[in-house]
Amino acid sequence: MTAVKEYYEALWQRLESPLVPSGFDRRAAFLLDGIDPGTAVLDLGCGDGAFCELICEHHPDVNLTGADVAEGALHRARARPRVRDDVSWVQVPFDGPLPLPDNAFALIWAGEVIEHVADTAQWLSEVRRVLAPGGELRLSTPNHTRLALAIGGVGAYSPPLGDHLHLYDARSLRGLLTDFGFAPVEVRAAGRLGPLSGQLLARARR
């Protein structure tokens, strides 16, 4: 997977800085809700650290780790002005086990990540491994309803040169997380258009 790693490093070289994540305010409120003091939090696929910085600002007492496949992304994340010095940073492989211990995190945040994962089964298995019993996975991903695909076609959401490898709607995402032993699982479409909104927000308990 050297080529994939090189792709993401090159991507972070050309992306503007700082990025404004899609639906940032909505996702931020979803992420920050109900984080207890001292919680061990993993931002898996942290990108340039926008959500790591947000957590540092609003929950300065959590134990935070940011992880990404690209060193270029982690370099940007470390440089954010309001990211604490004690945040841990981990470069993870695009494929393969996460270099993180078992049962290490009470909360894992994966914002707009699952649609990019090549081996979803392995990725979710690793997420469960590093998530503590009773811990929670929170994630966001684009919402691809049948109506949206019928109107726009698959190419509008997963172009040939794009990096979205999987398309989810609420039903398929809920079924996937349930199949991997998460319970309870809550998935909702986020935004003003209800079920046709462009984003899904999910909570899944180990």
Listed by start position, the domains of the chain span: 2-205
Q: How far apart are CA 34 and CA 173, in angstroms?
A: 23
- Check: pTM over 0.85? Answer yes or no: yes
Judge contact between 48 and 18, C-beta under 8 A: yes
Under CATH, to which class is 2-205 assigned?
alpha beta
pLDDT at 84: 96
Below-50 pLDDT ranges, the chain: 150
Per the prediction, the chain carries an average pLDDT of 89
Q: Which pLDDT score is estimated for 22?
A: 82
Q: What is the DSSP string of 111-140?
A: ET-GGG-S-HHHHHHHHHHHEEEEEEEEEE
pLDDT of residue 184: 98
Q: How far apart are CA 105 and CA 108, in angstroms?
A: 7
Say which residue the tokens 């004690």 belong to.
86
Q: What is the pLDDT of residues 149-190, one digit of tens each?
A: 545 555 555 555 556 678 899 999 999 999 999 999 999 998
